[in-house]
Amino acid sequence: MFTEAEIKTIGREEIIEALKQVMDPEIPTLSVVDLGMIGDVKIENNSVRVNLIPTFTACPAIKFLQQKIREKISSLGFENVEVIKDTSITWNTDRISESGKKKLEQFGLGTPQRHGGNFSLEDIEHSKCPHCGSSNTTMNSLFGSTLCRSIHYCFDCRQSFERFKPL
Amino acid sequence: MQATKELLFKMADDALIIGHRHSEWTGLGPILEEDIALSSMAQDKIGHALALYTILHEQFGEADPDTLAFLREEKDFKCCQLVEYPIGEYDFTITRQFLFDHAEILRYELLAQSSFEPLARLAKKIHGELKYHVLHANSWMRRLGHGTDESHARMQAAINSTYPLALGIFEEGPFEDELIEQKIFPGEKKLQQMWEENINELLGRAHLHLPSVSDATVGLGGRNGYHTEHLAPLLEEMTQVIRMETGVEW
């Protein structure tokens, strides 16, 4: 347990740091912070309220993540932890951090390019190969093994790969 | 308020029912990628329905989303008749998806400007997801339209029989003027006009064309709770588990 004085020194930074250990269940190398899912964090005495920005509308992981975030922040010693879905911000793939994109590639997934909020057909079709870095690739299917992935093929290293698709 | 509710219900019911129909391809798709595609679109649609029912629950005091989706009477559903039909064969499934999703993506594009803020926000998000659905339909329409004589003939026949049903998407409700006046939604007529322009052009590129429709009443009724004989069995199947023990925690 923490003393009250210790808790008071735990600020937003520390909470964000801790949330870097809460991983997306479908891409276990990527945290909710990498994904840009964390919005406002309000701390008041013993209570924390975190806004969670959902990714795809039908993402089945959202309840699971709310629970994991609650547990993680409670473990820092806070008594009341509230994790609310924040729909006032429209999540898009531009919110994924640069380090998050590196982790996606290490996991073997192609990454979405920055599109400023309105992605085109080109953006959907063209992905760099996460294995060899080639741009000589083609899209095989708009839909992949999870809602956020599409399926591509690299003509240079002759590998199929999945990609976190632009949204 | 009644006007916005009516709009939300018909959109949510459309998404729920077509989502359920798409999910019937799971395990049966003609190739693996298509099995995945239809299943993914099913998941998206049901997610969209959930988000819309959630607005009804949170902003208008309607029952919780599960109750709205699974425990209403057939006559309370406001989906258009197009989404109720069984999946049939791939020519029908793709044609229905093409006609429905082109209306859907334009509807959400218009709703992104809605004066009803919760819907405008949701619309921006769903609009991006629908790009994938529309691209899926377009690519198959093109491929099959340009394919063999048989594939071309089957797609044209599917368009001839499905297009009149699709007109039911735009069946006007009792609150059309109010929605337009309050800038909540610019109306079904405007949507239909934009839709016709888009699909005409795309079908032309696929060497296909829209039929002339002589019977303008085909496909109408859904928005007023009059459904085809296909909806009741679908609801029966969809709600089998929840009716076994209502309120059970999973």
By residue range, what is the domain housing residue B151?
Answer: 2-244
Which pLDDT does position B195 carry in this prediction? 98
Q: Do A91 and B125 touch (CB under 8 A)?
A: yes
Helix (H, G, I), strand (E, B) or coil at A28: strand
Q: Do B36 and A91 touch (CB under 8 A)?
A: no
pLDDT digits (tens, 9 = 90+) for B179-195: 999 999 999 999 999 99
Q: Do B40 and A57 touch (CB under 8 A)?
A: no
Partners of residue B128 in chain A, C-beta under 8 Å = 92, 119, 167
Partners of residue A144 in chain B, C-beta under 8 Å = 36, 40
Residue A131 — very low, low, confident or very high, per pLDDT cuts 50/70/90? very high
pLDDT digits (tens, 9 = 90+) for B18-72: 999 999 999 999 999 999 999 999 999 999 999 999 999 999 999 999 999 999 9
Q: Do A141 and B33 touch (CB under 8 A)?
A: yes
Q: What is the mean pLDDT of residues B200-216?
A: 90
Residue B89 belongs to domain with CATH number: 1.20.1260.10
- Cα angle B76, B26, B31; round to 5: 140
Query: If you average pLDDT over every residue of chain B, what do you get?
Result: 95
Q: With a cut of 80, say whether residue A29 has pLDDT above it.
A: yes
Q: Residues of chain B with pLDDT > 90: what percent?
A: 92
In a domain, B150, yes or no: yes
Mark out chain B residues that contact chain A at CB-CB < 8 A: 33, 36-37, 39-41, 43-48, 50-51, 118, 121-122, 124-126, 128-129, 131-132, 135-136
Would you kindly state where each structural domain of chain A is located, as residue ranges? Answer: 4-85, 101-164
- A4-85 CATH pick, 3.90.1150.10, 3.60.20.10, 3.40.50.1820, 3.30.300.130: 3.30.300.130
In a domain, B51, yes or no: yes
In a domain, B249, yes or no: no
In a domain, B29, yes or no: yes
pLDDT digits (tens, 9 = 90+) for B119-173: 999 999 999 999 999 999 999 999 999 999 999 999 999 999 999 999 999 999 9
In a domain, B58, yes or no: yes
Which pLDDT does position B140 carry in this prediction? 96
pLDDT digits (tens, 9 = 90+) for A69-123: 999 999 999 999 999 999 889 999 999 999 999 999 999 999 999 998 889 888 9
Token pair belonging to B92:
């029908």
Q: With a cut of 60, say whether residue B217 has pLDDT above it.
A: yes
CA distances from A75 to A63, A81, A136, B38, B59 (A): 19, 10, 47, 41, 34
Residue B208 near residue B141, CB atoms below 8 Å? yes
pLDDT digits (tens, 9 = 90+) for B193-202: 999 999 999 9
- Rounded to two decimals, the pTM is 0.93
Which pLDDT does position A8 carry in this prediction? 55
Q: How far apart are CA A100 and CA A37, in angstroms?
A: 12
- Distance from the A133 Cα atom to the nearest Cα atom in chain B, whole angstroms: 24
Helix (H, G, I), strand (E, B) or coil at A114: coil
When divided into structural domains, chain B yields a total of: 1
Q: With a cut of 70, say whether residue A1 has pLDDT above it.
A: no
